[in-house]
Amino acid sequence: MTFECWFAGCERIFTTRDQLRNHVSNHGYLRVVCPWCSEDEKSKRRMVDLKRHVSECHVRVIADDERLHFLRERCGFFLAINPDDYKRAIETPGEDPASDYLKDAVRGWCAKNPKGRSITEWEKGWRSVQPIPRRNRRSTPSYP
């Protein structure tokens, strides 16, 4: 199995998903914002960098993370500047209390930064991992 970089003009191919992740992060496409900082889009290169920053600057958040574990790499999807690319490089998180915590953090952050990206934009990016609303579900799967 091989993993190809999908960015225009880049045709690198890797043998492991990890190599692809590292490569894609070098393009700057796995950047995540810190929703606990008041500055606008003060982003970090990867979730692991955000975690380090949070442990230095947001002690209260670390206490919450010990319970909910939302500072995992896949949860970074909710803080990703490019959620589509994030999803492509890293597995998609499910809906759980950890994702609710991160979404609330981003909502609070948007409220403090009216000039930054709007919550509507963020929610558009998150929509891909939300469970399908019941009314759209079919009782039997329909495949053509």
Look at the block and give the residue holding tokens 């700057």. Answer: 28
**Which of 34, 71, 102, 105: binder of Zn ion (CB under 5 A)?**
34
For Zn ion, the closer of residues 55 and 57 by Cβ is: 57
**Which of 19, 21, 37, 74: binder of Zn ion (CB under 5 A)?**
37
Mask for 84-113, x = binds Zn ion (CB under 5 A): ------------------------------
> Using an 8 Å Cβ cutoff, are 83 and 92 in contact?
no
Find the binding residues for Zn ion in span 50-69 (CB under 5 A): 57
CB of 63 to Zn ion, least distance (A): 15
Percent of the chain as helix, strand, coil, to the nearest 5: 50, 5, 40
CA 13/CA 117 separation, integer angstroms = 33
